[in-house]
Amino acid sequence: MGQLPLPGNAAAEVFLIAHQHRGLLDRPADLSMRIALIVGAAGRIHPARREPKRPASMPREPSARQYRTRRPGPRLMALVLDQRAPMHTSPASSAIRTATPSPLEEMPPDIFRRIVVTHISLREGRAITSLACVSRAFAQRMTPHMAPLALRLYRTLGNAIQGSRAAALHDCMGTLYELPQVNPAHRLELFLLVSATLNHHFPGTAITPHIGTMLASLQHLESKNQAEALLSLVQTHHTSLFCGTKQQFADMASRVGALQPCLAQYKLAIILEPEISGHIGPEFPERVQAFLSMCMRLQPGYRTKALCHTLWGIALCGREKAYPGRYGFPDDDQQMKHNKGALLWGLHGCLQSLPMRDMPVEKQVLLLGKALIMPVLLDDVAEGDKMAISLLRMIPSEYGEFYWKRNAEYREVFGDLVESMLKQVFERDPRHSIHRFQSLYQAMAHLPSTSQIYWMRDIVLDRARRGEDGVTLALIVATAQAALQLSPAQPELKPLYDLFALCLNPAPLCKSHSYPPVKPPAVDPSAQAAYIQRFDARCSELMELLQNVAPDTAGKLLAGINGAYQEYSPLREMLPSPGALKEELYGCFLKQVLAFLQGLHPADSTACLLQLRLPRFALIDARHDDWTSSLMAAVAHASRGNDRVSLEQQKTTLGDLVKNGIDVPHHSPARNRRVLAGLAEFPEAVCADVLIRLLEDQYMAHAHYDVLFASVIEVARWLPDILRSSVLGAAARGLSQFPEPQKRRSTPLTLQQERNDRLEHDYPGLQTSNPDLYAVMRPGYVSRPDGWALLLDAVETLSVQHQADRLRQLCGNTLFFSFSNNRLSDQDKAQCSLRLLLAIIRLPNDLRRDAFSSWLKHVDRQSYGSQERGTLQAALLPMLLALPASDGKPLLDAYLATVWSDADKAALRQRAALHWQDDV
């Protein structure tokens, strides 16, 4: 059936008009006539007098004035009261036909109202059955809006506000009992009115006896309205009244969990959360269980919000002293620990129940970030570590970029929250358990490596700033193990090794405003001996720990720490001052490392040895040379008979070591001999390659290249012929790198004097105070002509074929020009050319001719003057005449082709003929 779309109050007016005329209707009359009267009365309601529609949340009982209407007109009264009026009846079939659906059902209300009024007002031609038909349709439309019980209850509750407490209680309880008979659309409003009325008359705890009745009445509301009604009930009255006892709290939590999912259900959960704490300690775990069981029944979205809110409250409270009521009484430590465990592990279980993988990454990061405060709140370290490991494993690995974005809701960065949790977990005892640290690092091994290294570095830095013991050796080893499982080629590992080198110092570190952000304090000279002793003992403990726990990691860790020492510039403040102490400390470290590596398997030790390099300290003694020699001997021992070490690896490692040992501020022949002597332990090909690298390295062209040149030639003498020839070829190319005095127009002795003065300036009185050390440090000097002579002497030790190759190389115009131009006088250049000729004449006849031809071109390109040419001619002719005629005559002919003067040519021919006449 269709319904008349009239306001609910209009239906009420119709009903009240009928009620006012109930005396007229008491007479015997047809029921249809009674309906006709009601409909007629409704049609006469003045539109302006109708009450405007009020919000459903605030119903108000209608007043008598609002229902004031005009009295029935005389024609209507006559129609109703005149029993003698003729009544025209219709057959029964007409009445039956009127029960069929009528087009009036779809008619607009205003038009429908006019028809009804007009129909009732006419007497002629209208049968009572027809009137009953119209009235029935109108009544069916108004049925939903005619709620006489609800109106009575609204009026009763409206009057109860102003009445006595007893009457109000009677009316409110009566309303709750009659709710099942009220239209469902009015039940929520009536329930809220009852709650407001009782709160008015029974404020505070006075309402306690009636709470059970109100809670029981919730079942009469529709499911969708129960959550809103319960939320209003809890907000109107104090929450503790519903959760005073453990059983009340459990019942309330169960009731909230059973509600239809909606926003009001989540709000109720948030309201109940503070009621967990503040009660008797032993009750706390059961309250926690009830609350978390309720959260588990929430939808995932609301469950996430509820857990976030609870975790946020825990984070604000901090440790137990900040808010002891949450965990129990502050004077009952054991109960407090038990209560904390029940709450935190219960929350952890809820987190595990959430479908994390189905949640947006922002929600995952937010929820886990709030939960990271829990491990450090547990008093038992093992329990805290267990929870930390579990939470770390929950972190998704595929969304690394979200770790470092600030959350819009809580204004926090997830990566910083993880770092804060790790710092607090790692600073708890025991700090000497390497297994504990390994387990924690393993839990986050699935996360992006850059984030892991960043957290590791901050963990070590945080521990370095705290406590007298600083970073323990167990933490160093565990961190190194975890870092080395990542890609070892990452540049982010370098800062970790720097920190490890810093943390080996036995004194607590202090903050620094430069890199690195921590540094050891200065050591008093009187305490240096004890400091070095403690440092040596700490290094020894590190080696022992590595050998027992992580021998496979030891090599890379020690090489990384050694690299931190080697990078002197970035870590200028890495070691305690003064400088002499830094050298002593490194000497202790290197000694411990070399002794440790000798006990390792060659497969583990060799990789480390091939990476070790020496720092560049300005030493005043020869310890730097001893370090280099020791390292070279260790590398040679590990490489001998080891197929894992190729010749190329040996060449690279040895080349770096030798260069590092030789390229020092105060160079000397004695130091060169000490360093280069270690080459004898390596394969000859490796030695030759190292010597060539020294000579050809452009960075080795320092102020002492002449001394290095002489030392290399000296060492190359014991190499095989072909390798020695290669080294001498590199030496020939390096002739141009011979240094010059800093002052122009200086004599050759000036360069030697400059070097002596510099040594005296840096170490005053060294020759007198320590003659042995002065003999080692005393600088040398090799002039260019002397270097040329040394090279030619070494070339003459080669086989004849290699001699010829090297001599032709020295005849090259470019090489000799770079060596001599503007650096040698014409006389010195002529002497060098003459010394070269002497070596060529000594070659066998079949190789001498080509080399002599190269020499002639070399002389011709030098543009010697007449004096120098005369000197060369005076020395050349006796050399040629000393040869047999068959060998010397072709050379003489080649020489005479370069002589311009015919007279000179004729004189030389005549002299040669007189000398070789017996051979011709």
* pLDDT tens digits for range 68-80: 333 344 333 333 3
Of 25, 71, 73, 67, residue with least CA distance to 49: 67
Say if residue 581's pLDDT is above 60: yes
Q: Phi first, then psi: what are they for 761, rounded to 5°? A: -70, -40
pLDDT at 620: 62
d(CA 390, CA 235): 38
Is residue 514 classed exposed, middle or buried when 0-12, 13-18 and 19+ CB atoms within 10 A define those classes? exposed
- What are residue 511's DSSP bridge partners? 518
Say if residue 805's pLDDT is above 80: yes
Query: For 135-180, how does the pLDDT look when each residue is reduced to its tens digit (9 = 90+)?
Result: 565 555 555 544 578 788 888 888 888 888 899 899 999 999 988 8
Q: Which residues of 763-779 are buried (b: 16+ CB within 10 A; e: fewer)?
A: beebbeeeeeebebbbb
Q: Which residues of 222-240 are buried (b: 16+ CB within 10 A; e: fewer)?
A: eeebbbbbbbbbbeebeee
Of 210, 46, 35, 267, residue with least CA distance to 135: 35
- Average pLDDT of the chain is 78
Q: Provide mean pLDDT across the span 187-213.
A: 89
- Orientation angle between helical segments 885-896 and 845-861, nearest 10 degrees: 20
What is the pLDDT confidence band of residue 7, given thresholds at 50, 70 and 90? very low
Greatest CA separation found in the chain? 190
Cβ of 648: how many Cβ atoms within 10 Å? Answer: 10
Of 661, 754, 674, residue with least CA distance to 700: 661
Say if residue 384's pLDDT is above 50: yes
Considering only residues 266 and 663, tell me which one the structure prediction assigns the higher pLDDT: 266
DSSP 641: T
Query: For 871-897, how does the pLDDT look when each residue is reduced to its tens digit (9 = 90+)?
Result: 888 888 889 888 888 888 899 888 888
> Which residue has tokens 């050891």?
520
pLDDT at 55: 39
d(CA 666, CA 348): 66
Of 185, 45, 186, residue with least CA distance to 109: 45
Which of 346-360, 689-703, 821-835 is most confident? 821-835
> Which residue has tokens 């029921």?
31
Per mean pLDDT, which range of 4-8, 387-391, 416-420, 664-668 is the poorest?
4-8
Cβ of 815: how many Cβ atoms within 10 Å? Answer: 16
Length in residues, the chain? 920
d(CA 565, CA 585): 10
Residues above pLDDT 90, as percent of the chain: 23
Say if residue 207's pLDDT is above 70: yes
| Three-state SS sequence of 296-335 | HCCCHHHHHHHHHHHHHHHHHHCCCCCCHHHCCCCCCHHH
What is the pLDDT confidence band of residue 901, given thresholds at 50, 70 and 90? confident
- 267: tokens are 């709000």
- What are residue 406's DSSP bridge partners? 413
Collapsing DSSP to helix, strand or coil, 510 comes out as: strand
Query: For 674-700, how does the pLDDT look when each residue is reduced to its tens digit (9 = 90+)?
Result: 899 999 999 999 999 999 999 988 666
The amino acid present at 583, given as its one-letter code, is E
The answer for 341, left when phi > 0, alpha when psi is -120 to 50, beta otherwise, is alpha
Q: Provide mean pLDDT across the span 858-871.
A: 84
Considering only residues 726 and 870, tell me which one the structure prediction assigns the higher pLDDT: 726
pTM of the model: 0.69
Cα 549 to the center of its chain, rounded Å: 28
Per mean pLDDT, which range of 215-229, 270-284, 448-462 is the poorest?
270-284
pLDDT at 538: 92
pLDDT at 467: 58
pLDDT at 897: 86
Using an 8 Å Cβ cutoff, are 770 and 698 in contact? no
Considering only residues 110 and 556, tell me which one the structure prediction assigns the higher pLDDT: 556
Collapsing DSSP to helix, strand or coil, 580 comes out as: helix
The amino acid present at 859, given as its one-letter code, is V
- 119: tokens are 């129909």
Say if residue 504's pLDDT is above 80: yes
pLDDT at 699: 65
What is the pLDDT confidence band of residue 586, given thresholds at 50, 70 and 90? confident
The amino acid present at 869, given as its one-letter code, is R
**Strands of 424-546, DSSP E:** 510-511, 518-519
Cα 592 to the center of its chain, rounded Å: 35
d(CA 576, CA 221): 79
The amino acid present at 109, given as its one-letter code, is P
Say if residue 549's pLDDT is above 50: yes
Say if residue 181's pLDDT is above 50: yes
pLDDT at 691: 94
pLDDT at 30: 41
Per mean pLDDT, which range of 43-52, 227-236, 546-555, 793-802 is the poorest?
43-52
Q: Which residues of 854-875 are buried (b: 16+ CB within 10 A; e: fewer)?
A: bbbebbeebebeeebbebbeee
Say if residue 790's pLDDT is above 90: yes
pLDDT at 904: 81
Residues above pLDDT 70, as percent of the chain: 76
> Which residue has tokens 């770092």?
419
Per mean pLDDT, which range of 74-88, 90-104, 667-681 is the poorest?
74-88
578 cis-preceded (ω within 30 degrees of 0): yes
Which whole-number Å values give the CA distances from 582 to 38, 412, 573, 586, in the listed order? 111, 43, 10, 6
What is the pLDDT confidence band of residue 585, given thresholds at 50, 70 and 90? confident
Query: For 536-545, how does the pLDDT look when each residue is reduced to its tens digit (9 = 90+)?
Result: 999 999 999 9
Which whole-number Å values give the CA distances from 722 to 518, 660, 727, in the listed order? 54, 27, 9
Say if residue 798's pLDDT is above 90: yes
Cα 120 to the center of its chain, rounded Å: 86
Query: For 730-751, how does the pLDDT look when each residue is reduced to its tens digit (9 = 90+)?
Result: 999 999 888 876 655 556 667 8
Query: For 405-440, how does the pLDDT look when each residue is reduced to its tens digit (9 = 90+)?
Result: 877 666 788 889 999 999 999 988 888 899 999 999
Using an 8 Å Cβ cutoff, are 734 and 782 in contact? no
Say if residue 569's pLDDT is above 50: no
